[in-house]
Structure 1
Amino acid sequence: SSSSSVKQSSSSSNDVQSSSSKQNPWGTDAEWWPFSCNAHGGCLEFTDKRNGRTYKYLKFDGKDTSGKNATIYAMVENLNVGDMVRGFKNQNDDSKIERYCYDNDTLNCHYYGGLYQWAEMMQLPSECNQKDCRGQYDTITYHHRGICPDGWRLLTYNDFYIIVNSNGNQDGVKGTRSTFGFGGSNDTGFSLVGAGMRITPMGGGGFKELNETAYWFYPTENSYKDYATADDGYMGKDEKYMNKNVLYKETGASVRCVLDE
C-alpha cells in the first residue's frame, strides 16, 4: 500500500497568474495540453481533489529492467500542487505542500509544473534534505506516494525504463521528449518538457536551464561524499541515453506520478 504522508495535502488554488508578461512559448492552452494525446488515441484524465487540477495520463506497455513485460499508467505532464515559495527559501513548512515556480512565476508552474525538493516530494520532514534518512523512515518503498494524489505513487527508475522501452517507441529517450521546444519525437507520449531546476541555496536559490533540461528525483536516497543527495534522472533536449545520477536534495526538480496498482 502507499506510504502515509507526513504533511497535510495542500488546498491551494490552481492559479495561473503571472508575475511577468511571459506567455506560453508554444501557443494556447488548447494547443499545449493535447499534444501528447492526439497521436496516442487520446489520453485518460484524472482530477486531483486537492486543488481541482486535471492531469492527463497514458497506458505504457513495455519491458522493465529485468526484461519482463510490464504495464504502467503514468502522467504525461508534471505535477503542480502546493503553495509557491520563492527560490531563495527552502521548503521547510512541514504542515503543507510547497512548490517552486521557475523564476518565481506561477505561469511557469501552470505550463511546466512545480519544482520540489526531495523531502517535499517524499512528504518526509524537511530535515531529510540535510541528512540521510535511510533507516529512520521505513516508509520509503516502491509504492511511495509522496506528494502524488491519492491512489498514485512517485515515478521510479524502473517505471521510466518501461516508458523508454514501451511498445511503438522507435527513438529511445528521444521518444520520451516533447516535440514542443525540447528536441523530441514523443513517440511514447510521455511528453517530457525542459522545466529546468531550482538551484540549491549554496548556488543562490535561483533557477536554470528552462527549455534545456528536465530533472526529476526518484524516491530513493544516495550517499555521495557526505552530502545529502538522492537518486535523480535528467534529460537534455539533445540527450541520447537514459541517465541516473545523484542530485542535492535541496535542489528543486519536477515530479511525475504513476497509478498505484
Structure 2
Amino acid sequence: MNKFKTLLFLAVFGGIGLWGCDDSSSASEGNNESSAVESSSSVKDSDSTEESSSSIDKKSSGNETKDKSSSSENKSSSSAKETKNSSDSKSSSSVKSGDSSSSKKNVSSSSVNSSSSKNQSSSSSVKQSSSSSNLVQSSSSKGNPWGTSAEWGPFNCNVNGGCLEFTDDRNDRTYKYMKFDGKKCLNFNDKGKCTDEKDTTIYAMVENLNIGKMVDGSLDQNVDNEIERYCYDNDTLICHYYGGLYQWAEMMGFNDSCNTKSCAHLIQENHQGICPDKWHLLTYEDFYIILNSNGNTHGIEGLRSTFGCGGYNGTGFSLVCGGENWGYAYDNFDEGVYWFYPEETDSNLLKASGSYTGLSMTTVRKGSYKKTHGFSVRCVKAE
C-alpha cells in the first residue's frame, strides 16, 4: 500500500513539473519576438550624371556628392518618419473640405487652395488661375510630434536683425522671412566658380512654401486650374510644418507638359511661379548670396537648421530636412532637402537645375534632377 502511494505521488507531481516546463518554454518563445531596429537609409541613385562639377560652397570636403548618406545618426527627435505607417496615408480624394474629423490640433488654414493666378504668360503651357478653395487639416490619425505652431523650433531669429513676417493672402498663412546682406556673383566661369562679386541685400523666406491642394504622392501634379502639392507621407500636418513638395512645372506655374518638354521661353527674370505677389522663386544667384551672407562661417551648414538637419543655422535661413518625392515615392525625411531653381538643364529637357543638402554634408552643388520629382520651394522678395 505504501508503495502504491509513493508511485501515485511521483506520477502526480512529475506531471505538474512537465506542464510547468512546457508553459515556461512557450512564454520564453513569445518574449523573444525581434524588436527590429530601423536600418539606415540606403543610398539611392540620384540624377547626378549631369551634375555640375563645381561646388558653390567655398569649403572643400570629401562629402561633395549629392548622393544621400547612409548614416542614421543625428536624426531629429521628431521621428515622424518612424511613426508613420501605410494606414496614415490618404489619397487626395479622401481629403475633405471644411474642418477635418482628425484629432490633430493647431493646423492653420495654410492648407487652403490658392485662388491666385499662376499665369505667367498667355501661352497654353502656363497654368491658369483657380477660384477653388479646400481647407484641410491633417490627413493622419497620429498625434502631433512637433507641439503647437509656436513650439515648432527650426528657426534662428537672433541674427540679421531678426525674423520678419509676411502673410500670404491666398491662404492666410504667415511666413517668417529675413534680410540677408551678402555677396552677389556678377560672373560665374565655366566651372561654376564666381570670378566677380559685389555687396548686395535680399530678403528670403526662412521656411518652405506651403500652398495648394494635396495630391497623392503616386500621382503627377497635372490639374491646370489650381496649385497642387505633395505632403510627405500624404500627411498635411507635415506640410503645415515642413512645407509642400512640388514638381518643377508646378513650382514654375506651368502646365505639366513642361515637365517633358522645354519651356525655357516662358521663364522670366525674377520668375514668380507659385510664390506670392512681389516674391519670386529662389534662384541659383539668390542662393549664392545667402550662402555667402555676412557672418556665415560654416558654409552650407550655416544654412541648415539645428532642428533635425545637422546644421549650425548661423545665417537664420533655417533649412529643414523635409525629404522629397523621388520617382513618386517619399524618401529622406529628417535626412535631407532638395530644391529646384527656375531654370532647365540644357542637355536634357526632362531635367531642371537644383541643389541638395543633408545631414553631415559640408558642401552643396548645383545639380540636374528630373522635373517630376517633388522638392521644397523657397521664395525671395522681389524688390
TM-score, normalised relative to structure 1 = 0.90
Cα offset, 1:8, TM superposition: 1.4
Aligned to 1:105: 235
Cα distance in 2 for partners of 1:80, 1:99 equals 8
- Given that residues 248 and 373 in structure 2 are in contact (C-alpha distance below 8 angstroms), is that contact kept between their aligned partners in structure 1? yes
Change (3 A) 1:14 1:36: farther
Secondary structure at the residue paired with 2:185? coil
Unmatched segments (≥5 aa) in structure 1 = none
Cα distance in 1 for partners of 2:131, 2:142 equals 27
Counterparts of 1:179-194 in structure 2 under 5 Å?
179-194=306-321
Aligned with residue 251 of structure 1, among 344, 357, 373? 373
Aligned to 2:141: 20
Do residues 161 (structure 1) and 288 (structure 2) align? yes
- Given that residues 60 and 166 in structure 1 are in contact (C-alpha distance below 8 angstroms), is that contact kept between their aligned partners in structure 2? yes
Aligned to 1:239: 361
Cα offset, 1:164, TM superposition: 0.8
By percentage of residues, which structure has more strand?
Answer: 1
- Given that residues 14 and 53 in structure 1 are in contact (C-alpha distance below 8 angstroms), is that contact kept between their aligned partners in structure 2? no
Change (3 A) 1:9 1:154: farther
- Given that residues 7 and 97 in structure 1 are in contact (C-alpha distance below 8 angstroms), is that contact kept between their aligned partners in structure 2? no
Cα offset, 1:230, TM superposition: 0.2
Aligned to 2:70: none
Aligned to 1:229: 351
Cα offset, 1:199, TM superposition: 1.8
Alignment identity in percent? Answer: 57
Aligned with residue 218 of structure 1, among 332, 341, 353? 341
Cα distance in 1 for partners of 2:148, 2:169 equals 25
Q: CA RMSD in A?
A: 2.0
Cα distance in 2 for partners of 1:74, 1:39 equals 14
- Given that residues 154 and 306 in structure 2 are in contact (C-alpha distance below 8 angstroms), is that contact kept between their aligned partners in structure 1? no
TM-score, normalised relative to structure 2 = 0.62
Do residues 133 (structure 1) and 284 (structure 2) align? no
Cα distance in 2 for partners of 1:102, 1:227 equals 26
Unmatched segments (≥5 aa) in structure 2 = 1-118, 187-196
Cα distance in 2 for partners of 1:11, 1:177 equals 35
Counterparts of 1:60-209 in structure 2 under 5 Å?
60-66=180-186, 67-135=197-265, 137=266, 140-200=267-327, 205-209=328-332
Change (3 A) 1:259 1:194: same
Deviations 1:65-101 (A, max 9, x none): 2311111000000000000000111000010000000
Secondary structure at the residue paired with 2:176? strand
Amino acid at match of 2:256: S
Cα distance in 2 for partners of 1:34, 1:28 equals 13
Cα distance in 2 for partners of 1:197, 1:166 equals 27
Q: Give structure 1 regions of 4+ aligned residues with deviation exceeding 3 angstroms.
A: 2-6, 9-16, 38-41
- Greater shift, 9-18 or 211-220, is seen at 9-18
Deviations 1:215-253 (A, max 9, x none): 0000000144x4500000111121111211011000000
- Given that residues 232 and 330 in structure 2 are in contact (C-alpha distance below 8 angstroms), is that contact kept between their aligned partners in structure 1? yes
Deviations 1:119-158 (A, max 9, x none): 00000111001112223x2xx1231000000110000011
Change (3 A) 1:55 1:14: farther
Cα distance in 1 for partners of 2:239, 2:221 equals 16
Aligned with residue 52 of structure 1, among 172, 177, 181? 172
Cα offset, 1:32, TM superposition: 1.6
Change (3 A) 1:12 1:184: farther
Aligned to 2:57: none
Cα distance in 2 for partners of 1:64, 1:112 equals 28
Cα distance in 1 for partners of 2:244, 2:180 equals 24
By percentage of residues, which structure has more helix?
Answer: 2
Amino acid at match of 1:166: S
Q: How many residues align?
A: 251
Change (3 A) 1:227 1:6: closer
- Greater shift, 39-48 or 159-168, is seen at 39-48
Deviations 1:187-212 (A, max 9, x none): 00000011111122xxxx11000111
- Given that residues 20 and 105 in structure 1 are in contact (C-alpha distance below 8 angstroms), is that contact kept between their aligned partners in structure 2? no
- Greater shift, 5-14 or 210-219, is seen at 5-14
Amino acid at match of 1:216: W
Secondary structure at the residue paired with 1:86? coil
Aligned to 2:128: 7
Larger radius of gyration: 2
Secondary structure at the residue paired with 2:369? strand
Cα distance in 1 for partners of 2:131, 2:361 equals 35
